[in-house]
Amino acid sequence: MLNQSKLNIVIADDEAPARNRLRDLLGDIDNTHVLAEAKNGRELLELINRTQNETTSADIVLLDIRMPKMDGIEAAQHLQKLPKPPAIIFTTAYDNYAIQAFDMSAVDYLLKPIRLERLQTALQKARALIPSQLEALTPLSPKRSHLSINERGRILLVPISDVIYLRAELKYITVRTAEREYLIEESLSHLEQEFSNLFTRLHRNCLAANAYILGYEKRSHDEHAEKQWVALLKHVPETITVSRRQQHLIRQNTL
């Protein structure tokens, strides 16, 4: 929880006048320091990564909702994977953009043009914010463009378009790309629901990206074993066994 010491604040907004407005307002509020500025969600995450292990890491992010490359809501979700995520105050020019959904004690929002008194109130709320309360934002987010990997206290962003398959192993999901594997703690069922148009479930523990499935063929591990259907994938040597329940996919794709 944040105390009454000086707050290190990062401003994330794609519009320079909006960033300048916030910087000017913060200059009139005691115990605040603008640590840095970002023009989009990806730039914000890179900035936060660089400051995570420093004594002047970000306490609060003033985060615009609509930004190019990565919007504010997705960036907020990725930030919550950090061991010590900053508190977040959303900013928006759209009074009909899910405002009621953000009107809670856990997360505040500022409607542009932002007033000094409103910003002061929001900062006080953010001081008491606990990270777990941001989980309420998840159902409101549009489909993510990236998966976030927490690796050694840093956020690594893996584009969904680079993911070849997702495999559940114990409490982790292996994320396979052409270059390497990553581990995340998410539900395979939730990932299947979120990216239903991009991935196909080949068996109970594995989703394969449609764009990387080359085709299907029958193989056996040795000459005495029964042949099984497997999916052949681009860019990786491994194949994925197709369960009996999912073999209707093979018929659909071979007609």
Tens of pLDDT along 116-137? Answer: 999 999 998 877 664 444 444 4
Residue 211 resides in a domain: yes
Helix (H, G, I), strand (E, B) or coil at 177: coil
Domain that holds residue 217: 163-254
56 and 169, same structural domain?
no
- On whether the CB atoms of residues 75 and 142 are closer than 8 A, the answer is no
Domain count, the chain: 2
User: At residue 142, does pLDDT exceed 60?
Assistant: no
Indicate the pLDDT class of residue 39, thresholds 50, 70 and 90: very high
In 27-155, alpha helices (H): 41-51, 72-79, 99-102, 116-127
174 and 136, same structural domain?
no
Residue 1 resides in a domain: no
Residue 24 resides in a domain: yes
Residue 135 has, within 13 A of its CA and on its CB side, a CA count of 5
Name the least confident of 33-42, 73-82, 209-218, 226-235. Answer: 73-82
- On whether the CB atoms of residues 79 and 110 are closer than 8 A, the answer is no
20 and 101, same structural domain?
yes
**What pTM, to 2 d.p., does this model score?**
0.71
Residue 214 resides in a domain: yes
Provide the pLDDT for residue 103: 42
128 and 194, same structural domain?
no
Residue 149 resides in a domain: no
CA 244/CA 239 separation, integer angstroms: 16
Q: pLDDT by residue (tens digit) across 151-208? A: 887 889 999 999 999 999 988 999 999 999 999 999 999 999 999 999 999 999 999 9
Rg for the chain (alpha carbons), in Å? Answer: 22
